[in-house]
């Protein structure tokens, strides 16, 4: 950020916001600067913030970048970023929103912002074609690699779920086949697979219930989904995709409910339900 032209204090605060994937408080921050250098700095920082910290430490400790290049999760993370960024850029160019260079510039930046749940906005993406907005909306549920500060399901969990689906199809076709789910050549214990399935179910359940509750405020279904996804994944700009630029006119109960969902999204879901179950049991014993 210093090299991009920000003063030391602004560079420090911006890097902290980027690394923590805490979303952008000012949707027009990058739009006002309109600086390719600043967007490049933010894009690289957001992609780095979505990496697995343990993998980064192993690479640093062993001074071997082969560990990073061979990591399945990182390969999927990079492939998802490039494929989604090119798709968004292609749609923007095809729709005549920008030329080729600007389509790549804004498409890749917004892909990095939503994939890492950084939440930064460098262009009025709320005016983009439906296809581009839908791709960005789906990406926000990923949230980078396992261990990163971003919200979402994480790439590793999605990889396990996808390979579990393929494994079940093969097992259905060949009932006597002995199959196992492997990541980086190592089998994933069924106990871990069960926890991932439980996490996936809880995450989607909270998202669906939150969408239903938020829709009671009178906003449209897609707006309610954008707000719910933004609160649950900490990427506030998800609401911007569907025209919710401010919560100033939202009902008080909706603001309180969204604050509650943001807290749930920032802590481990299992931890929240453990605390909830313990509280219910404690109240039951006292009564």
Q: What is the pLDDT of residues 208-244, one digit of tens each?
A: 999 999 999 999 999 999 999 999 988 878 888 998 8
Enclosing domain of residue 94:
8-139
| Segment 265-276 mean pLDDT | 79
pLDDT digits (tens, 9 = 90+) for 127-177: 999 999 999 999 999 988 988 888 889 999 999 999 998 888 888 888 877
Q: Examine residue 47 and state whether it is found in any structural domain, yes or no.
A: yes
Looking at the predicted structure, is the pLDDT value of residue 106 above 70? yes
Confidence of residue 24 (pLDDT cuts 50, 70, 90): low
Asked whether residue 93 is assigned to any structural domain, the reply reads yes
Residue 204 lies in a domain: no
What is the pLDDT, as a whole number, of residue 98?
Answer: 94
Give the integer Cα–Cα distance in Å for 101 and 122. 14
The verdict on residue 27 lying in a domain is: yes
The answer to the question of residue 66 being in a domain is yes
239 occurs within a structural domain: no
Amino acid 65: pLDDT = 82
Average pLDDT over residues 188-199: 89
Domain count, the chain: 1
Predicted pLDDT of residue 277: 77
Q: Is 186 helix (H, G, I), strand (E, B) or coil?
A: strand
Question: What span, in angstroms and rounded, lies between the C-alpha atoms of 233 and 192?
Answer: 22
Look at residue 61 and tell me if it is in a domain. Answer: yes
Give, in degrees to the nearest 5, the angle at Cα 63 between 18 and 16.
Answer: 10
199, part of any domain:
no
Are 73 and 52 a contacting pair, CB within 8 Å? yes
51 has pLDDT over 70: yes
Let me know the angle formed at the C-alpha of 264 by 73 and 135, rounded to the nearest 5 degrees: 50
Q: Is the pLDDT of residue 25 over 60?
A: no
- What CA dihedral angle connects 41, 46, 50 and 51, to 10 degrees? 0
């Amino acid at each position: 950020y210093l090299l991009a032209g920000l003063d030391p204090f602004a560079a420090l605060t911006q890097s902290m916001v980027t690394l923590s994937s805490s979303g952008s408080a000012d949707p027009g921050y990058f739009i006002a600067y309109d600086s390719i250098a600043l967007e490049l700095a933010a894009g690289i920082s957001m992609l780095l913030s979505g990496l697995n910290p343990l993998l980064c430490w192993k690479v640093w400790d062993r001074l071997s970048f082969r560990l990073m290049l061979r990591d399945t999760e990182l390969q999927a993370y990079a492939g998802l970023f490039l494929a989604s960024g090119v798709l968004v850029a292609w749609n923007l160019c095809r729709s005549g929103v920008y030329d080729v260079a600007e389509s790549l510039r804004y498409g890749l930046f917004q892909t990095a912002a939503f994939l890492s749940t950084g939440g930064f906005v460098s262009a009025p993406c709320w005016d983009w074609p439906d296809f581009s907005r839908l791709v960005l909306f789906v990406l926000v549920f990923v949230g980078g690699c396992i261990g990163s500060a971003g919200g979402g399901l994480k790439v590793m969990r999605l990889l396990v779920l996808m390979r579990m689906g393929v494994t079940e199809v093969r097992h259905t076709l060949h009932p006597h086949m002995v199959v196992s789910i492997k990541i980086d050549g190592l089998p994933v214990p069924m106990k871990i697979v069960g926890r991932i399935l439980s996490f996936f179910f809880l995450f989607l359940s909270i998202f669906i219930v939150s969408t239903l509750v938020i829709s009671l405020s009178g906003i449209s279904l897609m707006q309610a989904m954008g707000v719910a996804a933004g609160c649950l994944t900490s990427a506030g700009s998800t609401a911007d995709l569907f025209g919710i630029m401010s919560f100033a006119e939202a009902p008080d109960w909706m603001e309180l409910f969204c604050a509650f969902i943001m807290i749930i999204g920032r802590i481990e879901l299992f931890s929240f339900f453990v605390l909830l179950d313990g509280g219910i049991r404690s109240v039951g014993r006292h009564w």
